[in-house]
Amino acid sequence: MILSTADIRWLIAAYTCGDVADEQMSALLMAIYFRGLDEPELQAWTAAMISSGERLDLSGLTAPTVDKHSTGGVGDKVSLILAPLVASCGAAVPQLSGRGLGHTGGTLDKLESIAGWRATLSNAEILALLAGTGCVICAAGEGLAPADRRLYALRDVTGTVESIPLIASSIMSKKIAEGTGALVLDVKVGSGAFMPDIAAARELACTMVDLGNAHGVRTSALLTRMDVPLGRAVGNAVEVEESVATLRGDGPADLVAVTLALAAEMLRLAGIDADPAAALADGRALRSYRAMIAAQGGDPDAPLPGARHTEVLMAESAGWLRGLDARGVGVAAWRLGAGRARKEDPVSAAAGIICLAKPGDRVEQGQPVLELRGDADDRFARAREALAGAIEIGPEPPEPTDPVLERIG
């Protein structure tokens, strides 16, 4: 049976207001999980989710609007650098972000390491920040795609999260409702990603690109590697610190490469002819970042929280570091307190892991490879368990790889 547009529109509206019970919607979600949605059904489903709430009106801004969404990874602090970088090139960047769950980090959790910084802003404040500083990173308002909030919670308890149509409509309904003119998707692939298989990641990327373009948002996607943590810092405050270092011109090569690739794609879709590498090098991006943090109540010069306890993991043999499993590192950081198992759990700003060596580096036996940081010393044993087998050392260096796998759209 094919669902008509009218059926879908009624169903989403009725579920959002409580006229359709969770038990009934659960049955449909399970059917979608197993049988999927065809293209007209998915378009209608996404449109109905958008229509369940308000849409942010960015038409009053003079600069072209463009956003980025990442499917999440380990050490993925790109948004902290990218939003001010692209804004410093002349775009307005409304980066509505989320919190971490499980082994993947959340942008809002990271920025809340900064004293005074506020994640919750009104629509009027968002518009004022975009007009004034050119960029904002904040939580999505309660009024944007409220149907998704109910559906996501239900998918979480019914085992229907990993459905490409449901993932795509969840992400894109919020991004389309935020009112941006263009959108670049960073779809992570590898052991630390939500989609470890490249074929599934490509299918998700293509589905989301088609949805965005069909709803009038110029959309493209980059598939990027997530077998190894991105950069050297994994956690909250430590990722803020690394982001600022990158904005100062001292960032890890893989993090800089992914950030510049996404920035170039965002500027292309926004129709802006600018060189993001130049904006990173000459300090414009850093100035934009500091202005954004200050405008949201944060102190960009405040010291970041430090951990009370540290431990170091050593290389067990000499050779070349060939692998550093992103999922293992992500789970270890989560167990140290940097992440949460449930949405209501607190996170530690100071907990995390520093990758003192990355694949391609030569290491000696006994050389420190990972530094574990945490506020509670009873968390370290379980963190070390997550890292069993995560460090691969061999007699030959690994083949060099490009962190960007392909572009879609």
Query: Residue 101: its pLDDT value, please?
Result: 66
Is residue 30 situated within a structural domain? Answer: yes
How many other C-beta atoms lie within 10 A of the C-beta of residue 406? 15
Q: Is 163 a residue of the active site?
A: no
Query: Residue 80: its pLDDT value, please?
Result: 98
Q: Across the strands, what pairs with 218?
A: 182
Which three-class secondary structure state does DSSP give residue 166?
A: helix
Q: What is the CA radius of gyration of the chain?
A: 21
Is residue 232 situated within a structural domain? Answer: yes
- Considering the domain architecture, whether residues 176 and 73 belong to the same structural domain is answered as yes
- Considering the domain architecture, whether residues 93 and 197 belong to the same structural domain is answered as yes
Q: Could you tell me where the DSSP H helices lie in 215-301?
A: 237-247, 253-270, 276-281, 284-295
Q: Is 197 a residue of the active site?
A: no
Query: Residue 142: its pLDDT value, please?
Result: 84
Domain count, the chain: 3
Residue showing tokens 């960029």: 135
Residue showing tokens 């293209």: 39
Is residue 401 situated within a structural domain? Answer: no
Query: Residue 366: its pLDDT value, please?
Result: 97
- Considering the domain architecture, whether residues 314 and 185 belong to the same structural domain is answered as no
Residue 63 has phi, psi (to 5 degrees) of -85, 150
- Considering the domain architecture, whether residues 87 and 182 belong to the same structural domain is answered as yes
What is the rounded CA–CA span in Å between residue 132 and residue 183? 21
Query: Residue 149: its pLDDT value, please?
Result: 87
Is residue 59 situated within a structural domain? Answer: no
DSSP letter for 65, please.
Answer: B
- Considering the domain architecture, whether residues 247 and 291 belong to the same structural domain is answered as yes
Packing angle of the helix pair 164-177, 198-214 (nearest 10 deg): 40
- Considering the domain architecture, whether residues 291 and 313 belong to the same structural domain is answered as no
Q: Are strands 93-97 and 135-139 parallel, antiparallel or unpaired?
A: parallel
CA distances from 302 to 37, 290, 293 (A): 49, 12, 11
Q: Is 148 a residue of the active site?
A: yes
In the set 99, 103, 149, 155, the catalytic residue is: 155
What is the rounded CA–CA span in Å between residue 345 and residue 264? 36
Token couple for 403: 């962190």
DSSP letter for 315, please.
Answer: P
SS (H, E, C) 85-100: HHHCCCCEEEEEECCC
Is residue 11 situated within a structural domain? Answer: yes
Q: Is 170 a residue of the active site?
A: yes
At which of 295, 329, 361 does a domain end? Answer: 295
Q: Is 155 a residue of the active site?
A: yes
Q: Across the strands, what pairs with 392?
A: 323
In the set 67, 68, 69, 149, the catalytic residue is: 69
- Considering the domain architecture, whether residues 113 and 196 belong to the same structural domain is answered as yes
- Considering the domain architecture, whether residues 239 and 94 belong to the same structural domain is answered as yes
At which of 251, 270, 295 does a domain end? Answer: 295
CA quadruple 385, 389, 395, 401: dihedral sign:
negative
Summarize pLDDT for 146-181 with one digit per residue, the tens. 999 899 889 888 888 889 999 999 999 999 999 999
Is residue 70 situated within a structural domain? Answer: yes
How many other C-beta atoms lie within 10 A of the C-beta of residue 1? 6
Is residue 399 situated within a structural domain? Answer: no
- Considering the domain architecture, whether residues 263 and 380 belong to the same structural domain is answered as no
Query: Residue 2: its pLDDT value, please?
Result: 86
Is residue 224 situated within a structural domain? Answer: yes
CB 100 within 8 A of CB 106: yes
Count of H helices and E strands in the chain? 15, 13
Which structural domain range is residue 255 located in?
A: 66-142+152-295
What is the rounded CA–CA span in Å between residue 399 and residue 4? 50
In the set 76, 109, 148, 210, the catalytic residue is: 148
Query: Residue 102: its pLDDT value, please?
Result: 66
- CATH code of the domain containing 359: 3.90.1170.30
- Considering the domain architecture, whether residues 82 and 231 belong to the same structural domain is answered as yes
CA distances from 169 to 36, 69, 234, 267 (A): 12, 13, 29, 25
Give the residue ranges of the chain where pLDDT is below 70. 101-102
Residue 374 has phi, psi (to 5 degrees) of -165, 165
- Considering the domain architecture, whether residues 10 and 70 belong to the same structural domain is answered as no
In the set 103, 110, 174, 188, the catalytic residue is: 174
DSSP letter for 390, please.
Answer: T
- CATH code of the domain containing 244: 3.40.1030.10
What is the rounded CA–CA span in Å between residue 240 and residue 248? 12
- Considering the domain architecture, whether residues 10 and 156 belong to the same structural domain is answered as no
